[in-house]
Structure 1
Amino acid sequence: MKIGFIGTGWFAKTHAALLAKMDGVEVTAFCGTSIEKAEKEARNWSNAKGYTNVEEMLDKQKLDAVYICVPPMAHGAIEFTLIERNIPFFVEKPLGIDEQPLYIAKKIEEKGLITSVGYQWRYKETTKKALSLLENRNVGMALGYWMGNMPMVPWWRNQKTSGGQFVEQTTHIVDLLRFLCGDITEVYAAYSSNIMNEKVKGTTVSDVGTVTMKLKNGMVATVSNTCILPESGKVGLDFYTDKGVLELGNEGLREVKGNQILEYKEQVNPYIEENKIFLNAIKTGNPSQILSNYKDAVITHQVTMAANQSAISGQPIIVKNFAL
């Protein structure tokens, strides 16, 4: 399989490194914001070439799939171009910073194109374990967290180019909540900015935020985030049930029943799993094992957009029912 990459940042490097270890997979193209960046990544592959224009890359190479690893504001034209040419794609979250992903999703459905979105938490063994444990419990509420520092790239700290932390990072926790507990119907958000805009020039994203959510099944969830810490902190989602507490985090799953604590450590690399499943779907034409396709990811995107809208208006927002 011949694979192309759009983007040359951390996610592109991460996925490309994993593909390098897979049999029958060859990365042959990188498209970057500069030819220097694209050619630098291409040099890691014997037959790869660098480009600065997506159309040129697609004109000159016959690709079986493309990975889109670009900042939030760069989405749109890339996806429409790949859809027009019937090229399956894997796209890293978030899908964008506005309503454009809805139109992209409609085009994907019309074409019947295979897609996958980088919500790697869905592919964790501990997430699967949590899903099985929750089947036999009544969940009353969930508390989610993305507590960390500010990524020092200019586009991230600009609200207009990243969408803010809830869209760019905490979307993982929102998606995990959806995956494990079902549809989110209403959100109410409160954000605040009073620290990082004084510390880092050009900062317009919020320092802290808390979003309360109502779920279709009657649950209530609260997901909070901050980027004021000096280093990465707590990231995960806790479930409060009639049989105790489940704490799902980066390192694993904890089942708490009073003084009894059971721990389940992560055994697989979810990035490897999501890549294998995506590429196998293309080979077989069967996407049923993909846990987050574009259509599903748009629903998570709609929740994060609604949270931003609520933070601006100060009012609860009903999450739109996404339907193609």
Structure 2
Amino acid sequence: MKVALIGTGYIAGRHAAALTGLGAEVVGHVGRSGVEQAAARWGGRAYRDTAALLAEEDVDAAWICVPPGAHGEVELALIEHGVPFYVEKPIGTGLDVPRRVEAVLRDGGPLACVGYYWRGMEVIPELRRMLAETPPHLVRAAWHGLVPPVPWWRLEAESGGQVVEQATHLFDLARFLLGEAEVVHAVTRRPSLASHPDLDVAAVSAATLAFGSGPLGVFTATCVLHATVDAGIEFHCEGRKLTLTTKVLRREDAEGSHEIPIGRDPLVVADERFLAAVRDGDPGQVVCDYADALRTQELCCRVRDLAG
């Protein structure tokens, strides 16, 4: 399968490695910088814009790995050319662009997937089984880390803020497992950080959610630390606590503590499933379709905007 990568940052490199490992042929890269280096490493030709790529290459599928504020034109160009695409989360900084893209996709657009790859963890079926066995009463999720090195992340107009850009994985997984939620309360703090004087995103966020299926949820995020020390979600059930991180699914109950590795890299799983969906013409194989991702975007934006 012939694929293209739009964007040349860290996440584009992870997808390039995954795709070549899965046997896809990378025929083109689009980017403002580092595009020649990406082409030299992964194969294909370098382009400065999506229009030039589409004019020159026969592309079966594209991966969109651009900053949140750069979404919109790329998706619409691919839709116009009928090219299926996998777009990294978040799908925008707000709601206007994602809602416009979703409306065009709904009107006969190509297959589109969003990179909520936590859903692709191989332990998710086991987690679902345990949650069905002992339904949760309280959900606690945290994304506690540092300010990423890319300049756009520090500006809310370009990144959407930490809840929209990073903690969105946790909100999405909670939706995926528990259903829709109401935002009961949300608050943020914007302290001055000496190490990042230009930071204008909220450095601390907390929100309380009420899920229609019953549980209450407490979600917190901060970027004041030296590294990512917490990135996970806990489910507090009767007599049992279940914790999912990027490494393991942990069960704690009267019998002790037991850990199950998450399995293969879920980003690779998500790429594999999208390639199969494109090959088979089967949207049901993707980890998350665009319409479902829009609902996660709406939830994260409600949290951010309610907090102010």
Q: Same fold by TM-score, threshold 0.5 exceeded?
A: yes
Residue 185 (1) aligns with residue 193 (2): no
Unaligned runs of 5+ in 2: none
Given the superposition, is the C-alpha separation of residues 101 and 85 from structure 1 closer, same or farther in structure 2, using an over 3 Å criterion? same
> Deviations for 1:178-204, whole angstroms, at most 9, x for unmatched residues?
1111111334211001142x3312110
Give the structure-1-normalised TM-score.
Answer: 0.92
1:195, 1:228 within 8 Å by CA — same for their partners in 2? no
Partner residue in 1 for 2:242: 246
Q: Any residues of structure 2 matched to 1:109-128 within 5 Å, and which?
A: 109-128=106-125
Partner residue in 2 for 1:3: 3
Please state how far the C-alpha of 1:222 moved relative to its aligned partner: 0.8
Residue of structure 2 aligned with 1:216, choices 212, 219, 222: 212
Please state how far the C-alpha of 1:259 moved relative to its aligned partner: 5.7
What SS does the aligned partner of 1:189 have?
strand
> Deviations for 1:193-249, whole angstroms, at most 9, x for unmatched residues?
1142x3312110111110111111122101101100111101100011123111111
Partner residue in 1 for 2:300: 304
Please state how far the C-alpha of 1:291 moved relative to its aligned partner: 2.2
Give the structure-2-normalised TM-score.
Answer: 0.96
Partner residue in 2 for 1:280: 276
Residue of structure 2 aligned with 1:159, choices 156, 160, 170: 156
Residue 38 (1) aligns with residue 29 (2): no
RMSD of the alignment, in Å?
1.3
Partner residue in 1 for 2:69: 73
What SS does the aligned partner of 2:258 have?
strand
Match for 1:226: what amino acid?
Answer: T
In 2, Cα distance between equivalents of 1:276 and 1:250: 19
Residue 14 (1) aligns with residue 10 (2): no
Partner residue in 2 for 1:29: 28
Unaligned runs of 5+ in 1: 313-324
1:97, 1:163 within 8 Å by CA — same for their partners in 2? yes
Please state how far the C-alpha of 1:154 moved relative to its aligned partner: 1.2
Q: Any residues of structure 2 matched to 1:107-146 within 5 Å, and which?
A: 107-146=104-143
In 2, Cα distance between equivalents of 1:206 and 1:53: 32
In 2, Cα distance between equivalents of 1:231 and 1:259: 33
Given the superposition, is the C-alpha separation of residues 38 and 187 from structure 1 closer, same or farther in structure 2, using an over 3 Å criterion? farther
Identity %: 33
1:32, 1:52 within 8 Å by CA — same for their partners in 2? yes
In 2, Cα distance between equivalents of 1:125 and 1:252: 10
Please state how far the C-alpha of 1:138 moved relative to its aligned partner: 2.5
In 1, Cα distance between equivalents of 2:28 and 2:287: 26
What SS does the aligned partner of 2:300 have?
helix
Given the superposition, is the C-alpha separation of residues 103 and 22 from structure 1 closer, same or farther in structure 2, using an over 3 Å criterion? same
Match for 1:180: what amino acid?
Answer: L
In 2, Cα distance between equivalents of 1:65 and 1:92: 14
In 2, Cα distance between equivalents of 1:276 and 1:155: 29
Q: Any residues of structure 2 matched to 1:168-207 within 5 Å, and which?
A: 168-196=165-193, 198-207=194-203
Match for 1:26: what amino acid?
Answer: E
Farther off after superposition, 25-34 or 262-271: 262-271
